[in-house]
Amino acid sequence: MNASPDGSIIQREAPRPDLIAFEVKDRITKPDIEWMSSIAEAAMKTHGTIDMLLIMSNYEGSDLGARFDGYATSVMARSVAHIRNYVVVGAPAFARAMITLSGTVLPVETKTFDLSEEAAAWAYLAEAGPAKA
């Protein structure tokens, strides 16, 4: 298992190389976001199109610097064309609303699940199959 510099995020093992999965276990810092962004960027370069799963098992917010980090923001902006499914498990209510809204305006399929539904999220992505057919 691969962990971010501050240990707040771990990369979870995924059943296919074009699916990257992260679990947020604590407050997200700027180094955490940059670490996560570099993994996402590498996956997009390797596979072109990817699916992303974010499991918020114990999310405690993020530092202001993490939210407005320039590198992470540029990766997120470029990722719109490269992410097919963006699935979030355990998102707080305010984040669920933002995820749902972004799915209506961006060409990314978004879906949220309650923390108790993690298995359903994995099943949803398994049913979707490889990100690039």
Q: Which amino acid is at 100?
A: T
Structure tokens at 114: 């309650």
Quickly tell me which residue has 């108790």 as its tokens. Answer: 116
Question: How many whole angstroms separate alpha carbon 30 and alpha carbon 13?
Answer: 23
Summarize pLDDT for 51-60 with one digit per residue, the tens: 989 888 876 5
Q: Which CATH superfamily is domain 2-128 in?
A: STAS domain (3.30.750.24)
Region at 48 (left for phi over 0; alpha for psi -120 to 50; beta for the rest): left
111 forms beta bridges with 87
What pLDDT does 68 receive?
Answer: 43
pLDDT-based confidence at residue 64 (cuts at 50, 70, 90): very low
116-131 pLDDT per residue, tens: 999 999 999 999 998 8
Give 53's contacts (C-beta < 8 A, 6+ positions apart).
12, 14, 19, 20, 21, 22, 87, 88, 89, 121, 122, 125
